[in-house]
Amino acid sequence: ELLVALPLSVPAMEGTAKIAAIKSCGGEAMLCTRKGNKKVAVYDLNMVFSYEGTVTSEGPEKTLKGEVKLNEFASANDEDEYEWSVTVEGKGKPNDQIKKLVTATASKDLLPKLREYAAALAAYGTQPPPAPAAPEEPQQ
């Protein structure tokens, strides 16, 4: 939910891009209790996001697609150690241009949301579960 439809900060004069979906998220994640009741989140995940974008400088506008891969999203790694790669479907100047734009912006746009995800993972189990919603009254 944090990442789907996330716009990437591609300069408006050059095009647009957004995260379209999370294609995969795999690895290990666990919540450990240490020293009494201190919760520690430990994770090591590999994630693949699909993106869609357009470029405005090359002929008629068409939607271009590709993937952003993040390897080693891990609690033990610093953010500068994350391994990012960007691919694009197809060939041509517009495809190369959107790949360049997404490569330049994806990590800085995704990192704040990934920090939120890591914080939510760390907070899991430390807060009471939300109360169930009250059933709706039937309308007559």
- The percent of residues above 70 in pLDDT, for the chain, comes to 84
- The percent of residues above 90 in pLDDT, for the chain, comes to 32
pTM exceeding 0.85: no
Task: Provide the pLDDT confidence category of residue 129 given band limits of 50, 70 and 90.
Answer: low
Please say if the pLDDT value at position 130 is more than 80.
Answer: no
- Closest by CA position to 87, among listed 60, 111, 109, 69: 69
Please say if the pLDDT value at position 46 is more than 90.
Answer: yes
Residues 6+ apart with CB under 8 A from 58: 93, 94, 97
Quick one: 15-123 is in which CATH superfamily?
Activator of Hsp90 ATPase Aha1, N-terminal domain (3.15.10.20)
**C-alpha angle 88/91/94, rounded to 5°?**
80
Phi, psi of 26 (to 5 degrees): -140, 160
Look up residue 51 and give its two tokens. Answer: 């993106």
How does pLDDT run across 71-111, given as a tens digit for each residue?
Answer: 988 888 888 888 999 999 999 888 999 999 999 998 899 99
